[in-house]
Structure 1
Amino acid sequence: MHLLRAMRAVVGREINKFLRQPSRLASALVRPLLWFVVFSAGFHNVFGVSIMPPYETYVEYSVYMVPGLLGMVALFNGMQSSLSMVYDREMGVMRLLLTAPLPRGWLLAFKLMGGTSLSLLQMLVFLLISLAFGIEFSWAHFPLMLLAMVCGATLLAALGLMLSVYIKQLENFAGTMNFVIFPMFFISPALYPLWKLDESGAWWLLILAQWNPFTHVVETIRFAMYGQINLLSWTVVVVGAVVFFCLAWWGYDPQRGWIKQRGAA
């Protein structure tokens, strides 16, 4: 009961704070919508996606973009969560929560659940908007797709949680955002299939994309939209989420910091 009350307090605070700021939802959706409208219109007759898994026929570019933009929503929210964690740790409620009689791992898990919930909420809103633009998928595949979005959002929220350990000042967040978000987004199949990189001879970009965790978030969602499972991507997403969370847990360990300071002294 103590853990449930703590979970309700931490996760509920994140959701309520988000719902009290409707402009935050609007700003989170403007970016992917702009990409969706402009790029799908501009490359509609230029960029074709040939028959490749999970597609069984040629698809329009707008259809191909949707999984990547869903991942984009989760990626930016994960970085926004890391900014919130840095602010709360330095000035806000996180400073008080870290002194609460609650295991640190549970506290960070609840913060992770809050970030994942916000990402999932924004992804669902964007998915509904894409339906209004004529994007179709089978509702029979929605449970698998929902699970893929949850796992992908968890991975990116865990990444943001880990980064909040190493971001010491709010002023450093902009540089970290540029260093993490844009390479992860552009070196991925969010906007173009990976075989295009291979075809153009950019093999080093292809290797980077294959090692990019965001690539596997996008591919997990893309395959799930058609009721298929990409085993490699699922493995990377699940294992990556666990690894990032454990690194964040290790970074927020007060004993590790105390021992380090004592050794330095």
Structure 2
Amino acid sequence: MTSNPVAPRTRTGPAAPFAVPPDRPGPVLELRGVHVVWERELIRFLRNRLRIVTSLVQPILFLFVLGTGLSRLGPATGGYDYRTFVFPGIVAMTVMFTAIFSAVSIVWDREFGFLREMLVAPVSRTSLVVGKILGGATVATLQGLLILAFAGAVGIPYSPALLAVLVGLMLLAALVITAIGVLIASGIHQMEAFQAVLQFVAMPMFFLSGAMFPLTGLPAWLHGLTVLDPLTYVVDPMRRAVLAAIGTPPALMARLAPGVSWGDWIVPTGVEMALLVALAVLAAAVAVRRFGHTD
């Protein structure tokens, strides 16, 4: 007696899940990944109203409290309100702190396991890093716009041309600093370590940028440090744009905003912008490479 073999079952319903070919990385999928990460950063910022308000406290203190106090020291700014002089540096400071601290979400996501889910998504890690940088830069620029609204309170006109220049410089600064923050966060796994490192990086970057003082007559060691500071190449064109907009005489302009000098050569604005773009690209590329060896 022989047993009949069981006839193979045929599937007549919908195809099995594994029968559906997975999405392959392509331009559309990569752009979608960039957009999702960018949108997530923006939503987190807009929903956290306390963060928006508290981020304004330090710049306002620097501008209206410290600026008003230091303006009593003497005519160092040639008769201009000292707050007018430091305003570009305060705007740059706001963008810098917001941009560099936006990378803290990477460490947060790593601790809670969300970063691993992002890294296994069917998009390249380049898209994830670019989305993160664009998101952080957008948030930092929006925060900078809130401080920019105080321009009239310190004697700076709301000129469309001036505002366009300042917003463009803010966005470029936000891209560079966010890329640096993402690069730092790519190799850190503890929140406490990340905050300690950022404080070590952010505070010297602010004070060495010339945000609170002119770059003329500095000691050689201090001048060398200001030249190495990327934020210097943001504060310098911002200050020159502001001083030009309020009609500063050339002699006073040369003293308050002499430009960044490499030896006897004054770095043109175009070169400053090119350096910032190159630094942003380099930091982003290294961050992508480091993400490829983590998690």
Please indicate the TM-score interval, normalised by the length of the shorter structure: 0.7 to 0.9
TM-score norm. by structure 1 comes to 0.85
Runs of 4+ in 1 over 6 A off after TM superposition: none
Pairs within 5 Å for 1:101-140: 101-140=122-161
How big is each residue's C-alpha offset from its partner over 1:19-62, in whole Å with a ceiling of 9 and x where there is no partner? 111110111110010000112211123254557xxxxxx63211
Question: Secondary structure, in 3 states, of the residue corresponding to 2:103?
Answer: helix
Deviation at 1:83, TM superposition (A): 1.4
Q: TM-score, normalised by structure 2?
A: 0.76
8 A contact 2:185–2:194 mirrored in 1: no
Q: Deviations over 1:52-107 (max 9, x none)?
A: xxxxxx63211111111111112111231221111112315322111100011111
Q: Is the 8 A contact 2:180 2:284 kept in 1?
A: yes
Distance (Å, rounded) in 2 between the aligned partners of 1:245 and 1:117: 16
AA aligned opposite 2:107: V
Corresponding residue to 2:271 among 217, 227, 232: 232
Q: For the residues of structure 2 that align with 1:10 and 1:192, how far apart are their CA atoms?
A: 38
Please tell me whether residue 95 in structure 1 is matched to residue 112 in structure 2.
Answer: no
Identity %, equivalent residues: 31
Whole-angstrom CA distance in 2 between matches of 1:213 and 1:117: 19
Alignment-derived partner of residue 32 in structure 1:
59
User: What secondary structure is seen at the aligned counterpart in 1 of 2:71?
Assistant: coil
Partner of 2:105: 84
Counterpart-to-counterpart distance in 2, 1:133 and 1:159: 31
Q: Is the 8 A contact 1:70 1:123 kept in 2?
A: yes
Correspondence for 2:38 among 4, 8, 11: 11
**One-letter amino acid of the structure 1 residue matched with residue 54 of structure 2:** S
Name 1:142's counterpart in structure 2.
163
Q: Secondary structure at the match of 1:96?
A: helix
For residues 195 and 12 of structure 1, do their structure 2 counterparts lie closer, same or farther at Cα, with a shift above 3 Å needed? same
- How far 1:242 moved relative to its partner? 1.2
Kept after mapping to 2: 8 A contact 1:36/1:62: yes
Superposition RMSD in Å: 2.2
More helix by share: 1
The aligned amino acid for 2:82 is: Y
Tell me the residue number matched to 1:263.
none
Q: How far did residue 137 of structure 1 move?
A: 4.8
**Residue 212 of structure 1: how far off its partner (Å):** 0.8
Residue equivalent to 2:84: 63
Gaps of 5+ in 2: 1-27, 246-258, 260-267
Select 1:223's aligned residue among 229, 240, 247: 240
Deviation at 1:191, TM superposition (A): 0.5
Structure 1 unaligned blocks of 5 or more = 52-57, 259-265
Aligned amino acid, residue 235 of structure 2: V
